[in-house]
A and B are shown apart, each in its own frame.
Chain A
Amino acid sequence: MSVKNRKDTRNFFAFAGISIVGFVSFYIYPIVRTVYLSFTNTSIMDPIHDMIGWKNFKRAIIYDDVFHLALKNTFRYAIFVAALKLFLALIAAILLNNNLKGIGVFRTIFFLPFIIPTFAVSYVFRFFFHPANGLVNETLGKVGVHGIGWYADSRTAMLTLVISSLWGFGVPMLIFLAALQQVPKELYEVANLDGASRWIQFKVITFPAISAVFLFNVILATVDSLKSFDLAFLMGHGEGYPANSTLLYSVYLFNQAFRNPWNLGYASALALIFFGILLTLTAINFRLGKLYVKNEN
């Protein structure tokens, strides 16, 4: 190795060393450890464990009915939350992209929910949706609709969770807004001169221009909603109450690892299965993105 190469190597480790150590410690090691644990019957409360091969994966995929239900619930939740969040974020961004007076205030208002702690959000929504004396049922009662159980009824608890999750669309909205502001105004002026409707303008100018950002937001929203935990945990008493109707994958996984009998091995297997699902869905999103993302050139 030449002196220059040696110096380069030294400089490389001097600058990137801490990052590499951090990356290995906090990303690589946990992943490797999770893979190892998934093939064991490790419990947090039992220092002795055995290698059990693929048993954890087999148990989850073939036998565990509660796991299957949690998976189904998660997909149901993610589809609605991701789609509705993106829709609301896009609509809000388009509205804010107009030269509204006091646009900064509106931006702040829409983004505000993102910085409010989830436990406060869950408390507020439980107050709104209280079946006996919540604001929503009191309002519905005035128009003759009575007795919706919301979060206390297994038939409507998931709907309540989805609605409660929607208010945090501030981040995708800001990303959309940033993209919309990059679209040249001249294009809309020409379209107006040609008499193009708002919808045609959106279809032909706006969407192609922001399509790459749209794909980015789709992937972000999908992954985010699939791994959603805190609101479901708080609103479902940590157990998917009522009747496992709000039991999401991440809540189930948490309960396997950190509640009696603290089965870390099984939870690790669930985490790897979940990783596989997320990877597959992201790949599908990328593939679908090719159908609508327009290259800038």
Chain B
Amino acid sequence: MKKSNKWLVGSVAFAMAAVVLQAPLAHAAVPTVTVVMPTQWKAAFEPEINAFNKTSTTVNIEVNWGGAQDQLIAANKSPDIINTGDLFVAAQKNLLLDLTPYIAKDKTIDVKDFYPALLSAVKFQGRQLALPYRFNVGLLYYNKTLFDSAGVNYPTTKWTQKDLISAGQKLTKTSQWGVASTPGWWGEWLIHVRQAGGDWLQDGAVALDSPEAVTGLTFFRDKVTKYKMSPGPKDDSLGGFSGGKTGMEYGGHTGNWPSYNAVSSLKWDIQVLPRGPKTSKGAELALEAWGVSAKTANKQAAYDAVKFLTSVKFLTTQWNELRLPPTRQSVAKAALAVPVAKRQSPQNLEALFGGIATGMTLPRTIPFIKVTQEVVQPLIDKMLEGTLTPTQVGDQATAAANKALAILQ
């Protein structure tokens, strides 16, 4: 071999080795951050995240599909990005990084695009602890097939509690319920309490004994006992709303949409909740958000990842593929731009996004879930059994919950 050829071969080999070696080194220079996501999101999100990882020069997102976030945190192996929510930020205030300075110096993020109510729900003590990605708002779900066969008009924005009762009773017959009920959960009775003018917490104290709250509790019970349009604890719920034999669901949860859409025979839609005796406000507004672990070694990279996971592009995929209601107004606007007839269930997206304005978040500066589930809910259960009246529940729940809060705080 000639000397010049040797040089040529040597140079090519060196260049190839350099390319081969440099590629992983260059990639390794980009910090990797971890996040836990449910396995059922994998098909929708993985291509999007992989594409992002290929182009991103600041962060590489590694997803732990189906992992147990709480267990990882308990084992001191917290993922860099944490799935949190409006009810959790208070308890996680030291676990989550304050994103405020990162947002402030970021010229490319449009935080005003987030619905302000959702953004502020994960702001705690002046610190933006997370960015919201999905939300739930209480709505009226209805089964179009059952409405059609009963000759009842679909719910409108003008509906009141009277319309609900009238339709519920018309829809109730043997092996069919007018309105579903969810035992053991606050999501339904709290809306009635709020729409009657009461609330769980008023002026820093539990106020379920107010006349308004008792009115709300009474209506919750009456749906079962007086109007006989909802199943009680001893009744067969016929598989709930997704069972296809229940006319309406009051409150419900957007997280159930995939299971509703999985039932091909279920033709359903949503409407804003009927107006209560005092107000139409009171639907539960809850959300989930991505935050950054305060312990992460790559704070800026983790922030960049959160920014991507709550970006317009990603939230659009999230909405199109999984029907997880997006938290950005621009994504909502695009969804609303699709003609109603071309939308899949639910079609009335105006009710969904409009519900953010009338929805109310839950108390988050106190251990609301703990006190409600351990102290208040058992009394509500007894009311449905008929062993306590709504007034007794209001009185006992207020006393017990205030006592529990005093101990816990």
Contact = CB atoms under 8 A, between A and B. Distances in A.
B374 interface: yes
Contacts of B404: 65-66
Interface residues of A, number: 35
A133 B237 CA distance: 11
Contacts of A240: 378
Given A44-B70, A260-B369, A152 B375 contact: no
A48 B94 contact: yes
B407 A260 contact: no
A154 B384 CA distance: 11
Interface residues of B, number: 35
Interface string A24-55: 00000000000000000001111110000000
Contacts of B400: 65
Interface in B248-286: none
B236 interface: yes
B91 A46 contact: yes
A62 to B, nearest CB: 9
A59 B184 CA distance: 26
Nearest to B368: A260
Interface in A224-244: 237, 239-244
B385 A243 contact: yes
Most central of B183, B381, B385 by chain A CB within 10 Å: B381
A214 to B, nearest CB: 38
A262 B234 contact: no
Given A147-B234, A152-B234, A47 B95 contact: yes
Contact of B234 (A44, A149, A244, A258): A149
B92 A239 contact: no
A45 B71 CA distance: 10
B70 A262 contact: yes
A152 B233 contact: yes
A153 B383 CA distance: 11
A59 B378 contact: no
Contact of A258 (B70, B92, B373, B379): B70
A270 to B, nearest CB: 13
B51 interface: no
B87 interface: yes
Contact of B95 (A46, A152, A244): A46
Contact of B93 (A46, A64, A66): A46
A262 B407 contact: no
Contacts of A48: 94
B88 A59 contact: no
Interface of A: 43-48, 59, 63-66, 130-133, 147, 149, 152-155, 237, 239-244, 255, 258-262, 264
14 contacts: A59-B407, A64-B407, A132-B235, A154-B382, A154-B385, A154-B387, A242-B183, A242-B184, A242-B382, A243-B381, A244-B374, A255-B374, A262-B70, A262-B74
The 6 A-B residue pairs whose C-beta atoms are closest, nearest first, are A132-B236, A243-B381, A131-B234, A243-B378, A261-B91, A242-B381
Interface of B: 70, 73-74, 87-88, 91-95, 183-184, 233-236, 294-295, 367, 369-370, 373-375, 377-379, 381-382, 385, 387, 400, 403-404, 407
